[in-house]
A and B are shown apart, each in its own frame.
Chain A
Amino acid sequence: MKPASFEHIPVTSVDEALAALDGGAGEAKVLAGGQSLVPMMNLRLALPATLVDLNPVTGLDYVEETPDGISIGAMTRQRTVERSEVVMRRVPLLSAALRHVGHFQIRNRGTVGGSIAHADAAAELPAVLLATGGSVTVVSAARGPRAILAADLFRGHFETSIEPDELLTEVHVPAPANGARWGFREFARRHGDYALAGVAVVTTGAGADIDEAAVSLFGVGTTPVRAAAAEREIVATGSPEAAATAVVDEIEPTGHIHGSGDYRRYLAGRLTRRAVAEAIGGSPA
């Protein structure tokens, strides 16, 4: 239960971080909030030779209102974002989802960029980024900055399209269109645990007249996934139950000791029904 030895490189700027990553020959890991990486190091599931510690960096800690939504510096603590008035106003779905991330002591330390770069398939923030059609900015010393859409970011459990010499510096969450509504549900066996299944829903349109729907499931595959068939059902029928049925048909979660694949599929359906009902109104049963 004690981490193996490593070289600790605290950096004070993005440039320093990139130089350290470049020098790490692929063996360097970025340390952000450490709320996922350090447990893995304590358990010796992760044995990085070098940790590039972003905590002393200034200028990566902000929440900014933009014309189309919000931009969040990668090192902004989850608790700061959870309490941000701008976030509650522009992307209330994100505020709601953050309250499910660990406990407040974890969110005091955990960062928005870290959670997304870590890409746990059962984590809330990647699913919200996918539901809102968000993106991240990554930067490398050799190639400069580039944007990656959420849809192109998550490749597998703990796996993203961010290259080893790249650093995630900013997260962009578009604010849903005027009149957009949202729902968020997850089920975990204990408060603060990763969800056995969860869902983030965003809809636009008035009443039962839905123009667009996004249904983003987490904890049911190797990445967060958009449930395309459920989205079509919501637009076509406005029915939470039809969305739930579509979800059950289109996912194939695997089982583990906390729940069988069938149970998690059932859960995803029920949670989708509730989240869609929460978004568009109707009975949450």
Chain B
Amino acid sequence: MNTRELSLVLNGVPARAVVETRKTLADVLREDFGLVGTKLGCEHGVCGACTVLVDGAAVRSCLLFAVQVEGLSVDTVEGLSATGELSEVQEAFRRHHALQCGFCTPGLLMSVTEYLRDADPADDDELRDALSGNVCRCTGYQGIVDAVRQLVDDRRSADADG
């Protein structure tokens, strides 16, 4: 068995594990670190449920071997509310009923967290385009679009006031 010692910064905290080289980051997060918030749906990069941030960029953790994040920082859904408070993206999802079964939610939250860092969507088409990398089979997406639209609007009015 090919194994390697791995050290990374996981949700802001240094972490180590000995992992099989063939294991994806998603499996190591869930099985070795016990962070089961990250879900696995299709395991070939299409559904988006496993999306996490690696050095701040939203990526599929099923398409990355854990040994590839050596020395990098990884943020998962568990890190969003590490202080015990919901993040603003989580709060907006709650308010707009942007989830039902919740399976796609961790991936969506991570995608949206990155997207909102520098996005300024002109209209809902552009916003829906950005959300299209995460499949949700419950909501019909309207609540998700509403939540993200509100976050964009809030930030615009904050910028205007600022």
CB interface residues, A 170-215, toward B, < 8 Å? 191-192
Task: State in angstroms the CA–CA spacing of A3 and B46 once bound together.
Answer: 17
- Give 21 A-B contacts (CB < 8 Å), ordered by A residue: A2-B24, A5-B20, A5-B21, A6-B22, A7-B2, A7-B21, A8-B4, A10-B67, A34-B63, A35-B63, A55-B68, A104-B58, A104-B111, A104-B115, A104-B130, A104-B133, A105-B58, A105-B60, A105-B133, A106-B133, A109-B64
Contact B58–A3 (Cβ < 8 Å)? no
Chain A 1-16, CB-CB to B under 8 Å as 1, else 0, gives 1111111101000000
Contact B22 A105 (CB under 8 A): no
Q: Which residues of A does B touch, CB under 8 Å?
A: 1-8, 10, 34-35, 38-39, 42-43, 53, 55, 79, 102-106, 108-109, 191-192
Q: Which residues of A have CB within 8 Å of B62?
A: 38, 42
B residues within 8 A CB of A3?
Answer: 22, 24, 65
Mostly, the B contact residues are mixed
Q: Interface residues of B, CB < 8 Å — how many?
A: 32
Summarize A's interface: helix, strand, loop or mixed: loop
Instruction: Tell me the smallest distance from the CB of B21 to a CB of chain A, in Å.
Output: 4
Give A104 to B68 CA distance when docked, in angstroms.
Answer: 20
Residue A108 contacts which of B21, B46, B57, B65 (CB distance < 8 angstroms)?
Answer: B57
Is B48 a contact partner of A6 (Cβ separation < 8 A)? no
Tell me if B21 and A105 are in contact (CB < 8 A). no
> Cβ of B44: which chain A residues have Cβ within 8 Å of it?
39, 42-43
Known: A53-B68, A191-B129. 18 other contacts (CB 8 A): A1-B43, A5-B2, A5-B22, A10-B67, A10-B70, A35-B45, A38-B24, A38-B45, A39-B43, A42-B63, A43-B44, A103-B133, A104-B111, A104-B130, A105-B51, A105-B133, A106-B60, A109-B57
On whether the beta carbons of B21 and A6 are closer than 8 Å, the reply is: yes
Which residues in B have some Cβ–Cβ distance to A below 8 Å? 1-2, 4, 20-24, 27, 43-46, 48, 51, 57-60, 62-65, 67-68, 70, 111, 115, 129-130, 132-133
